[in-house]
């Protein structure tokens, strides 16, 4: 039997966290025009910056 040489869980794999705190996925509802503006401003990164300003 051969040992697998790739795949599976390993240290350091996967997307890095944005913050040290756990985050939950959320949904928003926007019309097409608002969605385009949201994406033009920078999307989720822009929203995080706006929320962290205050």
Closest Cα partner for 19 from 49, 39, 41, 42?
49
Question: What's the pTM?
Answer: 0.62
pLDDT of 34: 98
Mean pLDDT of 37-46: 96
pLDDT of 19: 78
Asked if 48 contacts 23 with a C-beta cutoff of 8 angstroms, the reply is no
Report d(CA 11, CA 54) in Å as an integer: 36
Q: What DSSP state is assigned to residue 24?
A: -
Report d(CA 47, CA 41) in Å as an integer: 9
């Amino acid at each position: 039997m051969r040992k697998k040489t790739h795949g599976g869980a390993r240290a350091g794999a996967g997307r890095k966290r944005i913050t040290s705190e756990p985050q939950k996925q959320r949904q928003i509802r926007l019309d097409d025009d608002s969605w385009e503006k949201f994406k033009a401003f920078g999307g989720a990164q822009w929203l995080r910056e706006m929320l962290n300003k205050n």
